[in-house]
Amino acid sequence: MINNNLKKVTIIDYHLGNLFSVKQACDTVGINAIISSKAEDIENADALILPGVGAFIEAMDNLADLNLIETIKKAAAEKKPIFGICLGLQLLFTKSEEFGTGEGLDLVPGTIRKFPADLDDRKVKVPQIAWNSIYEFEKKWSDTPLMDVVNNEFMYFVHSYYVDPSNDMDILTKTNYDGIEYCSAISKDNIFATQFHPEKSTLKGLSIYKNWATLNNLI
Amino acid sequence: MDIKGPNLVKGIHMEGLRVLGKPADFAKYYYENGADELMFMDVVASLYERNSLHDIISETAKSIFIPITVGGGLRSISDIKEVLRAGADKVCLNTAVINNPELIREASRMFGSSTIVVAIEAIKESNGQYLAYTDNGREHTGVDVFEWAQKVNDLGAGELVITSVDREGTGEGFDLDLVSRISALVTIPVIAHGGAGNKNHVSEVITKAGADAVAISSLLHYHFIKENSSSVHSNEGNSEFLKQKRSYHTFQDCKIAEVKQCLIDNGIECRI
């Protein structure tokens, strides 16, 4: 059933990653979402989801080819809610160490770093492709999309790079991968983003979609 | 989950496939009972050069919110694209990449390393050498397993599934020597497959052989069959085994929760 009063959410398609599962998660919790690469669908949306799996530089190149960089920055400046997932979280940052230095959307100050190949003479398996736990840092989770999530809950991760925010107050969760502690979710004004995949983390992950939508009056 | 036509099947040493039930029933049950990921393998796809899991994947992806990996008969970038579009998160490649290793590089560039899982089917020869096989242990390639694993790693695969065809379906335990040598060699996560007959085998391949993850079928399937009645497509394949509701004496079948509790008892962190 189509409800015309429903707020519109655009899942930004820049040709990297499994968008089907993001759309499926939206449908399941009642978010009215479309998948699109068009600037007009971003301009007309009430909120945006920026997903993605893969390489930072290729992603930024694709966004540039699609003429979406300024469109996304404008939407962010208009305070539209933005939900970044995995590579989508990383793209929000200032720059990446990947293959030299790549420039990001610069909506959240910080750098993207690669997991080290070894730590204390031990080999670190990269990428991290695993369920791992998320825990509170300084900021509390109440009034955020993580409000229903218990501390140390397991979520599904797939990544070789992690975000290193310049401001501790942007950090919402931390995770420890084989001795490396890093930021696994952020919130800053209208922006919320996770390194893990809530859409692949059972009903506990889907509650994050639902809470994000509820907090932003999208459903 | 090995799939042949409409059915979930299971063999021993990847041969003598028996029909166990409907894939969707097993998928739902495992999702609701703590599986961390589902792997669907079209076990006859390489033989017919096509993967026929699209319908099963798209149906599963609608209601199952954990990672889904799909393999069997994927030959090209466009084959990979098609199963990802149907809702798979990752693809598992074997035959195609042994014939054309560059496909690993090409596919991981295009879809991201973490989307590309390479499966190696290992058989131990009488001289002790491990050789890689394809087409579910049917086709000899003459390729040394460890040289191949290194190459798979260097070409940019995101994960490596190492199957001991000798142990597969037997319940005799993993080939710890094989898994530990592979795990020490590569820098990507290694999934051990083939041989789990009880929960302690699963714990052992992690603590003793350094596996990063474990793929289990018979151990869980046989338990599912005992606990559930499933509607079988008996017009295809041998379902006599299923009707007898039995398993082999080598298996101490159990639930996923029991396996995970055993891991936690052995100091291995996992989601429960």
pLDDT at residue number A26: 97
Identify whether B271 is part of a domain.
no
Q: Work out the pLDDT band at B85, boundaries 50, 70, 90.
A: confident
- The more confidently predicted of residues A20 and B102 is B102
- Once rounded to an integer, what is the mean pLDDT over residues B154-180? 96
* Residue of chain A whose Cα is closest to the Cα of B117: A129
* Residue of chain A whose Cα is closest to the Cα of B214: A130
Give the range of the structural domain holding residue B88, as residue numbers without chain letter. Answer: 2-265
Q: What residues pair up with B91 in beta bridges, in sequence order? A: B70, B116
Checking if the pLDDT of A139 tops 60, the result is yes
Catalytic residue of the set B42, B79, B121, B159: B121
Q: What Rg do the C-alpha atoms of chain B give, in angstroms? A: 17
Q: Closest approach of chain A CAs to the CA of B208, in angstroms?
A: 16
- The more confidently predicted of residues A6 and B64 is B64
Checking if the pLDDT of A102 tops 80, the result is no
Q: Which residues of A touch B65 (CB under 8 A)?
A: 21, 24-25, 28, 199-203, 205-206
pLDDT, tens digit, 9 for 90 and up, residues A114-136: 999 999 989 999 999 999 999 99
Q: In this complex, do B65 and A199 lie within 8 Å of one another by their Cβ atoms?
A: yes
Please report how many Cα atoms fall inside a 13 Å half-sphere around the Cα of residue B252, on the Cβ side.
8
Tokens in use for B86? 């149907």
- Once rounded to an integer, what is the mean pLDDT over residues A29-40? 97
The answer to whether B153 touches B186, Cβ cutoff 8 Å, is yes
pLDDT at residue number B5: 86
Checking if the pLDDT of B35 tops 60, the result is yes
Q: Work out the pLDDT band at B15, boundaries 50, 70, 90.
A: confident
Q: Work out the pLDDT band at B54, boundaries 50, 70, 90.
A: confident
- Mean pLDDT, chain B, rounded, equals 90
Identify whether B49 is part of a domain.
yes
pLDDT at residue number A14: 93
Q: What residues pair up with B117 in beta bridges, in sequence order? A: B92, B159
State yes or no: cis peptide before B23, omega within 30 of 0.
no
Question: Residue B116: which of B104, B99, B100, B134 has the closest Cα?
Answer: B104
Q: Which residues of B touch A130 (CB under 8 A)?
A: 189, 212-213
Q: Which residues of B touch A156 (CB under 8 A)?
A: 36, 66-67
pLDDT at residue number A212: 98
* Residue of chain A whose Cα is closest to the Cα of B271: A154
Active site residue B166: no
Calpha distance B61→B84 (Å, rounded): 11
pLDDT at residue number B247: 54
Residue B142, class by beta-carbon neighbours within 10 Å (0-12 exposed, 13-18 middle, 19+ buried)? exposed
Length of chain B: 272
pLDDT at residue number B161: 98
Tokens in use for B16? 């003598």
Q: In this complex, do A200 and B67 lie within 8 Å of one another by their Cβ atoms?
A: yes
Q: What domains can be seen in chain A, in order of their start residue?
A: 9-215 (3.40.50.880)
Q: In this complex, do A200 and B66 lie within 8 Å of one another by their Cβ atoms?
A: yes
Q: What residues pair up with B25 in beta bridges, in sequence order? A: none
Identify whether B62 is part of a domain.
yes
ipTM value: 0.92
Tokens in use for B263? 């891991």
Q: In this complex, do A126 and B188 lie within 8 Å of one another by their Cβ atoms?
A: yes
- The more confidently predicted of residues A65 and B137 is A65
B6 close contact with A: CB closer than 8 A: no
Tokens in use for A217? 């009056």
Q: Burial code of A201-213, b = ≥16 C-beta within 10 A, e = fewer?
A: bbebbbbbbbbbb
The two most distant CA atoms of chain A are separated, in Å, by 59
Identify whether B195 is part of a domain.
yes
Identify whether B45 is part of a domain.
yes
Calpha distance B68→B80 (Å, rounded): 13
Q: In this complex, do B87 and A53 lie within 8 Å of one another by their Cβ atoms?
A: no
Q: What is the DSSP letter of B85?
A: H
Checking if the pLDDT of B98 tops 80, the result is yes
Q: Which residues of A touch B91 (CB under 8 A)?
A: none
What is the signed CA dihedral for A74, A80, A84, A90, rounded to 10 degrees? Answer: 30
pLDDT at residue number B154: 97
Identify whether B210 is part of a domain.
yes
Q: Closest approach of chain B CAs to the CA of A96, in angstroms?
A: 16
Checking if the pLDDT of A4 tops 90, the result is no
pLDDT, tens digit, 9 for 90 and up, residues B201-253: 999 999 999 999 999 999 999 899 888 865 555 555 566 666 555 556 788 99
List the catalytic residues of A.
86, 197, 199
pLDDT at residue number A53: 84
Q: Closest approach of chain B CAs to the CA of A131, in angstroms?
A: 7
Question: Residue A20: which of B45, B60, B269 has the closest Cα?
Answer: B60
Alpha carbon separation from A54 to A51, A87, B35, B112, B183 (Å, rounded): 10, 7, 25, 4, 24
B250 close contact with A: CB closer than 8 A: no
CATH number of residue B61's parent domain:
3.20.20.70
Of B65, B189, B213, which has the smallest distance from its Cβ to A202's Cβ? Answer: B65
Identify whether B270 is part of a domain.
no
The answer to whether A201 touches A156, Cβ cutoff 8 Å, is yes
Checking if the pLDDT of A21 tops 70, the result is yes
Identify whether B272 is part of a domain.
no
Alpha carbon separation from A66 to A33, A79, B90 (Å, rounded): 20, 22, 26
- The more confidently predicted of residues A174 and A17 is A174
Q: Closest approach of chain B CAs to the CA of A77, in angstroms?
A: 30
List B residues 149-178 in contact with A (Cβ-Cβ < 8 A). Answer: 158-159
Domains held by chain B: number: 1
The answer to whether B160 touches B189, Cβ cutoff 8 Å, is yes
